[in-house]
């Protein structure tokens, strides 16, 4: 079955530690995205990538970094510079068809907690 | 810049009744797409329905329909014959020709009562 996998489901971070959230898709989509969701809030865009080896900052990129070395993978690193990382992180992908109906498909999410 | 506004933090509806979830948007793009997603308590985001800015007909997908009023910049979601399984967060989102990513509203929590 095609889909998006995120791991781990829960992640604990200690002060001053960098952690990496995994996102893999087998939908053959060109575009991938990372969103952050705080309790009771909407999704805010962290980073997005329309093609391999290229990515753009979203609205809240500070304290985060990404890489896009493979089409299938778009890992997100939460660095020690992100002072309030506790949130639910959602990865998504879309075909990058060039049209307006660019439906994004989401993974199950990773919940990050600070110890 | 794009902005999505959902003014109803929470809504209650009786089972089998219809409910309308409000969404207004603001954009400088001439062409754009509007989406609704459902988020159950498990956290997954489920795509429900899409409306393009140039579509003349309101979109429908089963029990979901989108009441699109372009002049008023609104894209309300209508759920007919509500079911208990419809209880979830609902998010309105926009795709524009400028930024190649979705912009989401703050969501509406819908609770369906038996």
pLDDT single digits (tens) A73-87: 999 999 988 889 999
| Mean pLDDT score across all residues of chain B | 95
Q: Do B34 and B66 meet the contact criterion of CB atoms below 8 Å apart?
A: yes
In this structure, of A25-34, B44-53, B61-70, B95-104, the range with the lowest mean pLDDT score is B95-104
Q: Which of B67, B85, B63, B64 is nearest to B76 (CA)?
A: B67
- Give the per-residue pLDDT at A1: 65
Percentage of chain B exceeding pLDDT 70? 100
B42 to chain A: which residues are within 8 Å by CB? Answer: 108
Number of CB atoms found within 10 A of residue B28's CB: 10
- Give the per-residue pLDDT at B38: 98
Q: Do B59 and B66 meet the contact criterion of CB atoms below 8 Å apart?
A: yes
Contact across the interface for B35 and A103, Cβ inside 8 Å: yes
B32 to chain A: which residues are within 8 Å by CB? Answer: 100
- Give the per-residue pLDDT at B10: 96
User: Is A27 near chain B, with CB under 8 Å?
Assistant: no
Backbone angles phi, psi at B85, to 5 degrees: -70, -5
| Mean pLDDT score across all residues of chain A | 93
Q: What confidence tens digit (pLDDT) does each residue in B55-73 have? A: 989 999 999 999 999 999 9
Q: How far apart are CA B3 and CA A104, in angstroms?
A: 18
Token readout for A78 is 């939460």
- For β-strands A10-13 and A110-114, DSSP reports them as parallel
Chains A and B form CB pairs within 8 A to the count of: 62
Report the gap between the CA of A41 and the closest CA in chain B (Å).
5
B104 to chain A: which residues are within 8 Å by CB? Answer: 35, 42-44
Q: What confidence tens digit (pLDDT) does each residue in A6-59 have? A: 999 999 988 889 999 999 999 999 999 999 999 888 999 999 999 999 999 999
Q: Do B60 and B82 meet the contact criterion of CB atoms below 8 Å apart?
A: no
């Amino acid at each position: 079955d095609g889909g998006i996998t995120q791991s781990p489901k829960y992640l604990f971070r200690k002060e001053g530690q960098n952690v990496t959230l995994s996102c893999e898709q087998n939908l053959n989509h060109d575009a991938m995205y990372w969103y952050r969701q705080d309790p009771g809030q909407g999704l805010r865009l962290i980073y997005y990538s329309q093609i391999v080896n290229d990515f753009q900052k979203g609205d809240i990129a500070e304290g985060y970094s990404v890489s896009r070395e493979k089409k299938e993978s778009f890992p997100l690193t939460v660095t020690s510079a992100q002072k309030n990382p506790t949130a639910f992180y959602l990865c998504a992908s879309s075909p990058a068809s060039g049209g307006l109906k660019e439906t994004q498909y989401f993974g199950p999410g990773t919940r990050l907690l600070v110890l | 810049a794009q902005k999505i506004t959902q003014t109803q933090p929470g809504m209650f509806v009786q089972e089998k009744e219809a409910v309308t979830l409000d969404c207004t948007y603001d954009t400088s793009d001439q062409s754009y797409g509007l989406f609704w997603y459902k988020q159950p308590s498990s956290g997954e985001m489920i795509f429900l329905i899409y409306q393009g800015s140039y579509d003349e007909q309101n979109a429908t997908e089963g029990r979901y329909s989108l009441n699109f009023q372009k002049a008023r910049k609104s894209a309300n979601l209508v759920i007919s014959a509500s079911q208990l399984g419809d209880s979830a967060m609902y998010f309105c989102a926009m795709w524009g020709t400028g930024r190649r990513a979705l912009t989401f509203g703050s969501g509406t929590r819908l609770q369906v009562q038996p």
